[in-house]
A and B are shown apart, each in its own frame.
Chain A
């Protein structure tokens, strides 16, 4: 397995608040990496910071984001613009607003091709746009439609078609199906995964819905309070999550397959960035908190092959 994207020690500050703390993650070729966590856990901030889409003022990422040996954080604006979408595309949260309401689907698809493939002629671009719509199962006569004429599911499919237009290496999906009903969610994700098999891109899949991640991703990183608290293959997380927060997350969604379980929530609410608890940020809500948890921060350690956990319960020294 060769890495396509390596995030090294990435931190993001909003003014004096630190939203993402020293996150290191690796995305391998052809892999689906799931990022899970509650609202405000920093998962979207992490993805937008890595692609330099966070707008100033005051969001300053530090660290490195390596893609094909280049650090995305230190590229010039021009180099970054060339790389955007052709190598890293994004399927955005909330399909409703991600498409420009005054431009037709054709124009919005064409924009991508015209900017990144200047040698393509108009008829070639139209043909490519038709092909892309066909890929996601939208009748090609919808090409001239405007976003308001499409259903939510169709808009999200258009978004996916757009994300695949330049055959990128990496597709970041940020809560891609949150606004859709469960049936459409699964159709779209299933289709996305089939496309991944044929086209061979890698996926970063961000969602708060860990049951979707367990089903659709290879590896899952769970974030809490701006830190990765556990990282493991999806099946391992589902079978035997180690961090109490991961267990809590798994217990708050009904499993789609397997034996019935009782649904439990996680007591308390996500931490406030302005007043992070001392020690492990999860300890005030943790059912198995110990004295050390409130005093010192556990570091993210390898506990098994391909498994990392940041929890004192897993630390042999305690």
Chain B
């Protein structure tokens, strides 16, 4: 119990630090978003309107940075992340709520699939080392060494242009209304195939390689020899004795990669114009949209913290040696 309390305190302090940095970062960036907006609107605003824009965006120059900081915390607790400049006047919270499911659905699910698939292939490759499975590794490593945007563009040019089998961009067919219908869900799945498969192809090699190497190390351990001498079935030895020990390093890697789902989505969603958080962040940076960037960074921070917490819990469950006595 004290262990969990200590962890909880640690996460709270980290969260506070992350949010504070998050508050400061956009204010340290050069440029002025209101100025950019005024330019965009082409001088159709009078000075009163400009002043009210500054107040609206929380960039009131008459307030000290401390007052701004306190207000920032106050509005955070109310769930108010300000208004987005890029999607003016939609609140940032709404923009995030709309784009988050897309990112989680695409990058989250494919990250999990890549981990499970890669780990399973790695288990077999390590268990049956020296067999044909070993030829798999150079192939997957080659695929993962291709820069992601290049892989994505090749996939688009092959499967949407040369052979127009799959859509190249978007989260669903234009003209459809998001709703719970067979047609809409089918369209979402169809649009997810290309980005999803490219993510898996480019990330699966890491899991295979890591797992295979750990399996090779672990199968040399005495307890695997004991398991064979005990006459256990191959399946039991492979999973409960070898893989169960070999998977531990992969678990922490997996938790970290869960934390990077949101951040890592940027490239994928740019290439495929996918309506997720990464694409929103990309647009936000282009428009010097401080509130939106802060919102996305906040989500990334939270995701990393939650992933770390999951890794802690996963380790507790899988490795008895990390459990505290009593």
A interface residues (Cβ-Cβ under 8 A, vs B)? 51, 53, 57, 80-86, 89-90, 92-94, 97-104, 111-112, 115-116, 146, 148-149, 162
Q: Which residues of B contact A84 (CB under 8 A)?
A: 228-231
* Given A92-B222, A92-B225, A111-B240, A102 contacting B319 (CB threshold 8 A): yes
Number of A-B contacts (CB under 8 A): 79
Complex CA distance for A97 and B222, rounded to whole angstroms:
6
A169 CB, min distance to chain B CBs, angstroms: 14
Q: Which B residue's beta carbon lies closest to that of A100?
A: B223
Cβ of B25 under 8 Å from chain A: no
Q: Which A residue's beta carbon lies closest to that of B224?
A: A100
Q: Which residues of B contact A101 (CB under 8 A)?
A: 223, 245, 319-321
Q: Which A residue's beta carbon lies closest to that of B231?
A: A84
Check B226–A115 contact: CB distance below 8 A: no
Check B226–A93 contact: CB distance below 8 A: no
**B interface residues, how many (CB within 8 angstroms):** 24
Cβ of B233 under 8 Å from chain A: yes
22 A–B contact pairs at CB < 8 A? A51-B229, A53-B228, A53-B229, A85-B230, A89-B229, A92-B226, A97-B221, A97-B223, A99-B223, A100-B245, A102-B245, A102-B318, A102-B319, A103-B240, A115-B230, A115-B231, A116-B231, A146-B320, A148-B320, A148-B321, A149-B325, A162-B230
Q: Which A residue's beta carbon lies closest to that of B241?
A: A100
Q: Which residues of B contact A57 (CB under 8 A)?
A: 130
B 218-268 contacts with A by CB, 8 A: 221-223, 225-233, 236, 240-241, 244-245, 248
Q: Which residues of A contact B223 (CB under 8 A)?
A: 97-101
Check B233–A81 contact: CB distance below 8 A: yes
Q: Which residues of A contact B320 (CB under 8 A)?
A: 101-102, 104, 146, 148
Check A115–B232 contact: CB distance below 8 A: yes
B244 CB, min distance to chain A CBs, angstroms: 5
One digit per residue, 1 when the CB lies within 8 angstroms of any chain A CB and 0 when it does not, for chain B 269-292 equals 000000000000000000000000
B interface residues (Cβ-Cβ under 8 A, vs A)? 130, 221-223, 225-233, 236, 240-241, 244-245, 248, 318-321, 325
Q: Which residues of A contact B240 (CB under 8 A)?
A: 100, 103, 111
Check B225–A53 contact: CB distance below 8 A: yes
Question: Residue A83 contacts which of B130, B228, B231, B232 (CB distance < 8 angstroms)?
Answer: B231
Q: Which residues of A contact B244 (CB under 8 A)?
A: 100, 102-103
Q: Which B residue's beta carbon lies closest to that of A159?
A: B226
Complex CA distance for A104 and B319, rounded to whole angstroms:
11
B11 CB, min distance to chain A CBs, angstroms: 26
Complex CA distance for A80 and B228, rounded to whole angstroms:
11
Question: Residue A90 contacts which of B130, B226, B236, B319 (CB distance < 8 angstroms)?
Answer: B226
B214 CB, min distance to chain A CBs, angstroms: 13
Check A112–B221 contact: CB distance below 8 A: no
7 cross-chain pairs, A with B, having the tightest CB-CB distances, nearest first: A84-B231, A97-B222, A146-B320, A100-B223, A85-B231, A98-B222, A81-B231
Complex CA distance for A73 and B318, rounded to whole angstroms:
38
A85 CB, min distance to chain B CBs, angstroms: 5
Q: Which residues of A contact B325 (CB under 8 A)?
A: 149
A82 CB, min distance to chain B CBs, angstroms: 7
Check B227–A100 contact: CB distance below 8 A: yes
Complex CA distance for A55 and B81, rounded to whole angstroms:
62
Q: Which residues of A contact B232 (CB under 8 A)?
A: 111-112, 115
Q: Which residues of B contact A89 (CB under 8 A)?
A: 229-230
Question: Residue B231 contacts which of A86, A93, A97, A98 (CB distance < 8 angstroms)?
Answer: A86
Chain A CB within 10 Å, residue with most, of B222, B236, B321:
B222
Question: Residue A94 contacts which of B222, B248, B321 (CB distance < 8 angstroms)?
Answer: B222
Complex CA distance for A128 and B240, rounded to whole angstroms:
22
Q: Which A residue's beta carbon lies closest to that of B228?
A: A53
Q: Which A residue's beta carbon lies closest to that of B230?
A: A85
Q: Which residues of A contact B231 (CB under 8 A)?
A: 80-86, 112, 115-116
Complex CA distance for A154 and B91, rounded to whole angstroms:
64
Complex CA distance for A146 and B233, rounded to whole angstroms:
22
Complex CA distance for A132 and B268, rounded to whole angstroms:
58
Q: Which A residue's beta carbon lies closest to that of B221?
A: A97
Chain A CB within 10 Å, residue with most, of B223, B231, B318:
B231
Complex CA distance for A280 and B227, rounded to whole angstroms:
38
Complex CA distance for A83 and B248, rounded to whole angstroms:
33
